[in-house]
Structures are given as structure tokens and as C-alpha cells.
Structure 1
Amino acid sequence: MDGVVAGFVMVVAEEVEQVYVGTSFRGSGVAGVLLAEAERLVAAGGHDSAWLAVVPGNARARRFYERSGWVDAGAFDYEAAHEDGAVVVPCRRYTKRVAG
């Protein structure tokens, strides 16, 4: 699949903002590679721990993060940017120690 984007990850400070894997690449190990790189980037930025937001209904993602050593730290409201201002999205905060 030359030239096809398998996925991407976005990190801002200690937040793993996005982990995306294309449908045809799910279950291939790409997500694990991307998440490991995100953790490395957070640690390289001088942070001891990383966090990310997951909507409660995304059970597949939640299981993946938990298998990857992330811990559900509880519910919170995530303010997502929108063209009309911020949109509040109920989420679960997952955290993981990435340094030390």
C-alpha cells in the first residue's frame, strides 16, 4: 500500500491529542507503534506523565489504552475547538507515566 497513510499521532505538551489509524490498518500493530512514539515525545518534552481523552462509548479504544498500560483517571469535560467556539465533550481522562 505505497503512499497510503496508515495513521498519525498528534502530541501537544503532555497531551496525546489524537491517535488515528486507518480502517484497513486496524489490528495490524500500527496503533501500538504510534502510541509508543507519542509517549516518547511526551517524555522527550520533559513531562513525567502523558494524558489523553477518550469518549466513554469508545470501548475499543479504551481497551487498547488499558492494554497499553494507560489508567482511567476519571470523567471530565474536554473543550474541543469548533468554528463557533468551544464544544464541551464528556470524556474519560487516561494517564500514563512516561519518564523515570
Structure 2
Amino acid sequence: MLKADAGVDILHVPFRGGADTANQIMGGRIDLGVNNLPSAIALIRGGQLRALAVTSPERSEALPEVPTIADRGCRAWPAMPPPPGSACRCRGARPSPSSTG
């Protein structure tokens, strides 16, 4: 859905969890990911990751400055978690030197 809505050429790469994916982003091996907020919030607040958007219909009370994906022009994702044991857990976005927020 994100690939079609945003018009970007991306490839889904599954990792074993939020920490593994965050390490891949911070290490420069992947450019972006999707993660749950509890797994990423400390890294976002610490400046190691940059949140581009939240997938919920409303902005998060924990990070109210981060827009929703709908604010960014994409459809909101359905509120359906992956099945138990799923390896699907992508992440946030690595800050770039030109990032202003």
C-alpha cells in the first residue's frame, strides 16, 4: 500500500524485530522501515532515528509533531496486527545531515 501510494520503488526486507531493523537503518544498510512506536521511541527522541509518519489514523500523543501517513498523502493502514510469530516488523528513518525535522 505504501509503495503504491507514495510512488516509490521499495523492497520489503523482513528482520527478526524492531531492534535488528533499527540497527540496519542506523548502520546505513537499509534506508527506511516501519516499526511500532514502543520499539522506536527512545531512538527517535534520541535522534538516532527520524520518524517520517505514524500509521494510525490520528497523530500519536507520544510524538504529536510526527504527521500521520494520511497527512503525508497516503492511505491510513488498516489497524490489523500481523499474525503471532510473524517476522514482519520494519522500522523508522535514519536522520540525514540535511534533515530539519
Note whether the superposition's TM-score is higher than 0.5: no
Q: TM-score of the superposition, structure 1-length normalised?
A: 0.33
Q: TM-score of the superposition, structure 2-length normalised?
A: 0.33
Whose relative contact order is higher, 1 or 2, with alpha carbons under 8 Å and at least 6 apart? 2
Larger proportion of strand: 1
